[in-house]
Amino acid sequence: MTILFRLLLFALIAVKVQAQPRLKATAETVLENLYQANGNKIYPKPAIEIVSDERHAAQFIRRSNTIRIGVKVFEVCRVFGKDSLAALAFIIGHELAHSFQLNTRQTSFLAYDQEDGADANAEKDADIQGLFNAWLAGYNTADLLPYIIEGVYVAYDLKGKTLSGYPTLEERKRTAKDLRLIVTELIRMYETGNYLTAIGQHDLAAACFQYVENRYKGREVYNNLGVNLVLQAMHLSEKNVDPYVFPLELDCNTRLKKPKADRGPGDLTPEQWQQRGELLAKAAGHFAHAAKMDYQYLTAEINYLCALVLNAKAGEAIEYCERRELVKKAGLLNAPAAGQEKIKLALGLAYAYSNRTEAIPLFDGLKNSTDAFVQYAATLNANVLAGRQAQLREAPPCQINFDTDAVVDDVKIHRPLTAAWTILDNAAQIEISTVLNKASELVVFRTGGQNRLSLQRMRRTGVAPVLSAATHLHALATNRGYIRVYPEKRAALLINEAQNQAVEWVKYYEFR
């Protein structure tokens, strides 16, 4: 890396004014990816301005809602070769995070917390937000952070110098090291939350996403948190209280196979009814917040309808859907067909729970959907509404072409060796312990002081999984690919379909 930085001064000479439109287009593409990944569209996306700058490297300026980027920054990023856009994403992401800070007026990437009017906490928060947002957008930036900082200091001739108004390179690198640890933990919690969602441990998943939300206020985080609260509410009883399939469910078969409840007050205890109502109300709040952040985020609108219906507010759900013209809105936004159909599916459920006949044509009209889930849910819901026997669609048989029972790093997940415990949810007494090993990492959860679940993640590339036509129907979509769970093997694969490879796999053990 040091040799590359020595080439930096020579590269800077090659930058010409006529290259600025190309640099601006590159920066605007990265900014758009970051802005969409964050999803907070309450604040308008800043404009990009390329400047010949000798003091700041990059700035956010509130009065013009502009991110200024110095030409030298692009040459710093170019040094990183295939990771050049990842390097640029951190710098732009840092300044974009400042645009969400209401008290921030003007920043300086170089001056950092020594800029006039700057706040040290706001700068560190922008680092965290920028790194995590870059990761969500698909840029692997965290490991590059200290080298990005050093490259900028070299380009602006600050390395090895102590100047008034600028932190030293050593100070910035120490800060970067600490922040990288924080963001790495946020990423681990987010990914663990995804696995727990797919496995069906929804209270643990919600605790993970709540941990992330404390540091990163993103649209997807609020939606994921809300989804797990709803699913937790639906699984409080050993009986199945909800006979219909809802658009936000991943594995409805497990729930539908439970003994049928009478749908009376005795199906749940008074404490469970109260807990269910509180969980659904909290989930609705998260969905409403996500929808407020992004007017075009129909997923949150659909999930909000589901939370209302399940919380005995079907009439309110119908009124909300009609007032906001969600069906029409989805068409005007050219939303994917499955998204438009899921709005109709949710509206049909609201009609069904309100004993209104409008549910019948909605379900019938979705039976021939090209989306496997919508077709399945509409057919099953139509049968339930008509009083007919619902036919469950089973997941395809397990097809993993490697040994999931192999012991990795001498870890025995049924007898895990744990490290220090961290409290995730004090009220629910949920704690987590993480152990990093050579080829894997082990995460153990306990509730009330008793082991609840252990999950070991193995990095494994080059594995070509056997995919079936029903993969999407029984898989969880994430920012890194699809998670497919194989309960009979107590294993799950993270699949990158574009490469037809398993990015990684996990094994898990649920303590009884």
**pLDDT of 466 over the 60 cut:** no
Which pLDDT value is given to residue 162?
Answer: 78
**pLDDT of 353 over the 90 cut:** yes
**pLDDT of 469 over the 50 cut:** no
- What average pLDDT score do residues 177-193 get? 95
DSSP 292: H
Which pLDDT value is given to residue 53?
Answer: 81
**pLDDT of 158 over the 90 cut:** no
Which pLDDT value is given to residue 13?
Answer: 47
Give the phi and the psi of residue 59 in degrees, each rounded to 5.
Answer: -145, 150
The whole-angstrom separation of Cα 129 and Cα 115 is 19
Residue with tokens 């020595």: 6
The H-or-E segment that residue 155 falls in is helix 145-155
**Sign of the four-CA dihedral 24, 30, 31, 33:** positive
Res. 1 pLDDT band, cuts 50 70 90: low
| Token representation of residue 49 | 């301005």
Which pLDDT value is given to residue 332?
Answer: 87
Q: Which domains occur in the chain, in start order?
A: 2-187 (no CATH), 200-386 (1.25.40.10), 422-510 (no CATH)
Res. 474 pLDDT band, cuts 50 70 90: low
Which pLDDT value is given to residue 160?
Answer: 80
**pLDDT of 281 over the 60 cut:** yes
Pairing of strands 58-61, 475-478: unpaired
Which pLDDT value is given to residue 333?
Answer: 87
pLDDT in tens, 441-461: 999 999 999 999 999 999 765
**How many CB atoms neighbour CB 313 within 10 A?**
19
**pLDDT of 470 over the 70 cut:** no
Res. 467 pLDDT band, cuts 50 70 90: low
**pLDDT of 257 over the 80 cut:** no
Which pLDDT value is given to residue 215?
Answer: 93
Which pLDDT value is given to residue 471?
Answer: 52
Res. 412 pLDDT band, cuts 50 70 90: very high
- What average pLDDT score do residues 331-342 get? 90
**pLDDT of 170 over the 70 cut:** yes
The whole-angstrom separation of Cα 453 and Cα 435 is 14
Res. 391 pLDDT band, cuts 50 70 90: confident
Lowest-confidence pick of 47-61, 87-101, 465-479: 465-479
Which pLDDT value is given to residue 263?
Answer: 59
**How many CB atoms neighbour CB 164 within 10 A?**
5
Measured CA to CA in angstroms, residue 142 lies from 108, 424, 479 at distances of 20, 24, 16
The whole-angstrom separation of Cα 351 and Cα 159 is 66
